[in-house]
Structure 1
Amino acid sequence: MHTYSKSDPILWSGRKSGQQLYLHEKVICIDLNSEQIPSTDGQSWAILGYASDEGVKRNEGRIGAAMGPDAIRRQLAKLPNHLKENALLMDAGTVDCKDGDLKKSQTVLSCTVTQLLKHNTFPILMGGGHDIAYGHYNGIKRYLATEGKNKSIGIINFDAHFDLRSNETNNNSGTPFYQIAQECKSDQSKFRYMCLGIREDANTKTLFDTANDLGVSYIERKHFNLLYFDKIKHKLQQFIKEVDHIYTTIDLDGFSSAYAPGVSASSPMGFSIEIVLECLNIIIDTKKMISLDMAEMNPTYDIDQNTAKLAASLIHYVIHNSR
């Protein structure tokens, strides 16, 4: 079964202006296997899908996230385009996992992220299960290594879950950051990981113990709101100050189901949109963010495409506020 495919341009449709007033008129679909990444003297963004349910399935979650990338594309296509004329917005296709070979899919994803970064393009990945994080992180790590840059990577995860489960039985959507931590231990590098929005009712005592043992910085959901913004800002800025690059990952199941019903593990107890936007502003302003992904989008359980619209609007916000 194929693991990478070019996106169908029909996914990018909407109101026609003839003036690139909408993103579907701005985006270009490319096949990374056969086409060159265009060059530009402006900013370059690449949308990359990760159509995988395998990690969620292994983690006993709700199946459907493999359809997430295309659901987000359809909503992103309709949004207005305020990018500069020389900015490049590409749809770089999708990595899938139709044969259950999660390791292969993550390897292909990793190589694709490296390829995009080498062309001075900012990757925006859409999942798919949160196992997207393992392949994504390693793609960034490989890029920095091949470029001869001994730079540190800090992971900022907006999520209800630590995703630090042991992978002793298998790798899944709940193990990516544990896997990364173990690899950091093997190559004697520091594991730099911050979680925003952690819920006590979504993580066992063992997971809290693991996070503390690994030196994870985290803010619980009960304190992850605008009432505590000054403290959140200080903690976030301190974390960012200690690293060279930031890999930002947003697990959509961290949001309250009032905003994001279409996820693998929904809950009304999640965080709000406003606090995430304020934190994204801080990250963007540092100029350290090297890559971004959205995980756990599950159209099967979405209501009026609200979760897909949320993911699309978050992507729209990042690309239009990083100018």
Structure 2
Amino acid sequence: MKNYVLTDIKNWDGRKSNKKLYLHEKIECLSMDDFKKNSASKSIALLGYASDSGVERNHGRIGAAKGPDAIRRQLGKFANHLPEETSIFDLGNLTSPDGDVEAIQKELETAVDLIKKQHTFPIILGGGHDLAYGHYNGLLKHIPEDKTLAIINFDAHFDLRPNDNGSNSGTPFYQIAMDLQKKGKSFHYKALGVTQNANTKDLFDFAEKHKLNYLRREYFSHTYLEHVQLRLIQFMEDVDYIYTTIDLDGFSSAYAPGVSAASPAGFSPDIVLECVKLILESDKLVGLDIVELNPKYDIDDQTAKLAATIVHYILHKI
């Protein structure tokens, strides 16, 4: 991989216990080559997508390239309740100093493929949402031809924009849809929390034409919890495997001010965690990422802490 860098160990710091009571004491930082020798029976791999080139192409606020390390700095301080036999590996960051989005998407595909070959669960830390195209394609290599890999996207945006002028943070699910269409396969996609002001009429028309599953922000809350849960369960029952992606810019900026595109009237963490719990309980989840953290606009690391809290929850529920 052309622009792959190892993790700076300084990003993993916190209280010292000598008993692995904190995650920074549990994490093992490895190169991809060393990771290939992994023989752990149960393992999770963190990989950073340290690029905001796709965000820049999509006219978003620059800064998400520093998102992965910001999440690490908060996650390492959290308590470790994982079994001793569970290994967590930090495999470093993919970068795109030349702004080549298509190249880093391909490198992520290769990296996720490698992670899955080691029977390890991948959690990708973003970075721009353009990473979803590479993540999905890496996972797809490990899905039988007769099985379905569905996408659940927590987001204010559909990210279904055409990629006529190249890939960007708004195009990944359109790219996936077109790839599947060429293969004569169905596109199983559910977007939770989309807003009318963040998506053009063309995008809603595309979603309707392709019979995509989505829930608008006004119905994606604890007020409608039973309805949300029912819709999600129905979607999951009809698919074989699930890839989940959480875009931090879908959260209300009261919780997540440090993102590429802020959403003052976005959703709250509690409804997302309720849904993630259901997804994990389905036993169909094969990969997850969290994207669009922009530390440049964060306040007291609030958004980084939210991202780390979600990752911590998932680490302990997988």
Shorter-chain TM-score range: over 0.9
Cα separation, 2, equivalents of 1:184 and 1:37? 33
Q: Give 1:133 deviation, angstroms.
A: 0.3
Structure 2 counterpart of 1:88? 87
How far off is 1:142 after superposition?
1.7
> Residue type of the partner of 2:251?
F
Task: Tell me, in whole angstroms, the C-alpha distance in 2 between the residues paired with 1:254 and 1:318.
Answer: 19
Superposed CA offset, 1:173-216 (max 9, x none)? 00000000000001111100000001011111111001111221
How many residues are paired up?
Answer: 318
Q: Give the superposition deviation at 1:321.
A: 1.7
Distance 1:151 1:46 in 2: 24
CA distance in 1, matches of 2:25, 2:223: 40
Q: Is the 8 A contact 1:30 1:92 kept in 2?
A: yes
Query: Aligned pair 1:157/2:156, yes or no?
Result: no
2:247 and 2:290 in contact (8 A); partners too: yes
3-state SS of the aligned residue for 1:33? helix
| Distance of aligned partners of 1:89 and 1:34 in 2 relative to their CA distance in 1, 3 Å threshold | closer
**Partner Cα distance (2:231, 2:263) in 1:** 26
Q: TM-score, normalised by structure 1?
A: 0.96
Whether contact under 8 Å (1:264, 1:297) holds in the other structure is yes
Partner of 2:212: 216
Q: Which residue of 2 aligns with 1:30?
A: 30
Distance in 2, matches of 1:39 and 1:149, equals 27
2:36 and 2:118 in contact (8 A); partners too: no
Contact 1:261 1:303 in 2 (8 A): yes
Deviation at 1:33, TM superposition (A): 3.3
Please name the residue that 2:192 is paired with: 196
Show the counterpart of 2:70: 71
Shift of 1:231: 1.2
* AA partner of residue 191 (structure 2): C
Cα distance change, pair 150–4 in 1 and its aligned pair in 2 (3 A): farther
Residues 202-236 of structure 1 deviation map (CA, whole Å, 9 limit, x = unaligned) = 11111100111122100000000111111111110
- Aligned residue in 1 for 2:262: 266
Partner of 1:245: 241
Instruction: Please provide the CA RMSD for this pair.
Output: 1.2
C-alpha separation in 1, matches of 2:123 and 2:37? 15
Partners of 2:67 and 2:251 in 1: CA distance = 16
Which ranges of structure 1 fall in alignment gaps of 5 or more residues?
none
Indicate the residue corresponding to 2:117 in structure 1.
Answer: 118
Shift in Å, 1:35 = 4.6
> Which stretch of the first structure deviates more once superposed, 149-158 or 295-304?
149-158
SS in structure 2 at match of 1:172: coil
CA distance in 2, matches of 1:221, 1:97: 33
Task: After TM superposition, give the deviation of residue 6 of structure 1 in Å.
Answer: 1.4
What is the rounded CA distance, in whole Å, between the counterparts of 1:130 and 1:284 in structure 2?
A: 22
Query: Which one-letter code corresponds to 2:51 in the other structure?
Result: S
Q: How many angstroms does 1:75 deviate by?
A: 0.4
Task: Calculate the TM-score normalised by the size of structure 2.
Answer: 0.98
What is the match of residue 301 of structure 2? Answer: 305
CA distance in 2, matches of 1:134, 1:117: 16
What is the identity, as a one-letter code, of the residue corresponding to 2:195?
A: R
Structure 1 match to 2:46? 47
Q: CA deviation at 1:2?
A: 4.2
For 1:159-174, what aligned pairs fall within 5 Å after superposition?
Answer: 159-174=155-170
The residue correspondences of 1:6-25 to structure 2 (distance < 5 A) are 6-25=6-25
Report Cα offsets for 1:40-99 as digits up to 9, x if no partner.
Answer: 23x211000001111000000000000000000000110000000000011011111111
Deviation digits for residues 228-254 of structure 1 (CA, Å, limit 9, x no counterpart): 111111110111111111100000000
How far 1:313 sits from its partner (Å)? 0.5
Query: Counterpart in 2 of 1:100?
Result: 99
Residue 3 of structure 1 aligns with which residue? Answer: 3
Gaps spanning 5+ residues in structure 2: where? none
8 Å CA contact retained: 1:126, 1:293: yes
Paired position in structure 1 for 2:252 = 256
Secondary structure of the residue that 2:56 maps to in structure 1? helix
